[in-house]
């Protein structure tokens, strides 16, 4: 039998799959109406479509290669999920990149993503180009 917490991990995996398709409408359907989205640098967004627009300014294209998913219960129907992995894609100037580490933190309540926090090396690589792995 699948637990509520294991179902929450499946929701996050489905969200990532939709996000990388990209299918922002399908991804948005997995998020609560009042979702809180925060990217590195305290960039706050209210909708997944804002994430798509934000990424369009940072990358020509980008995909996630998920690694591990870890979860912990925050309540009976409230799960915190951490997903680590790497990004690969192309910068706006056409240079390709890979191995860009990321850590995402999600909260899932009632079958919907209510919070998403995103950290990745892109913030460092953009701010400090000499750190950029070639």
pLDDT digits (tens, 9 = 90+) for 78-121: 999 999 999 999 999 999 999 999 999 999 999 999 999 999 98
Question: What domains can be seen in the chain, in order of their start residue?
Answer: 4-131 (3.10.450.50)
The pTM assigned to this predicted structure is 0.88
Residue 37, both tokens: 């989205």
**Which phi-psi region, left, alpha or beta, contains residue 59 (left: φ > 0; alpha: ψ -120 to 50)?**
beta
pLDDT digits (tens, 9 = 90+) for 112-124: 999 999 999 886 6
Judged against a pLDDT cut of 70, whether residue 131 lies above it is answered with no
Least Cα distance to 89 among 55, 118, 116, 123 occurs for 55
Helix (H, G, I), strand (E, B) or coil at 42: coil
Residue by residue, DSSP assigns 70-121 as EEEEEETTEEEEEEEEEEEEE-TTS-EEEEEEEEEEEEEETTEEEEEEEEEH
pLDDT digits (tens, 9 = 90+) for 13-55: 999 999 999 898 999 999 999 999 998 878 899 888 888 888 8
Rounded Cα–Cα distance for residues 45 and 43 (Å): 7
Helix (H, G, I), strand (E, B) or coil at 5: helix
Please give the pLDDT value at position 35. 96
């Amino acid at each position: 039998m699948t637990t509520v917490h294991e179902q929450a991990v499946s929701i996050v995996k489905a969200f990532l799959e939709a996000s990388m398709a990209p299918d922002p409408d399908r991804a948005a359907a997995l998020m609560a109406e009042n979702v809180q989205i925060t990217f590195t640098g305290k960039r706050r967004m209210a909708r997944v479509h804002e994430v798509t627009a934000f990424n369009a300014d940072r990358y020509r294209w980008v995909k996630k290669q998920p690694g591990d998913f870890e979860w912990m219960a925050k309540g009976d129907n409230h799960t915190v999920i951490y997903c680590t992995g790497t990004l690969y894609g192309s910068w706006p100037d056409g240079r390709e990149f890979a191995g860009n580490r990321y850590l995402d933190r999600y909260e899932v309540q009632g079958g919907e993503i209510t919070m998403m926090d995103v950290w990745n090396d892109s913030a460092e690589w953009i701010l400090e180009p000499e750190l950029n792995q070639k």
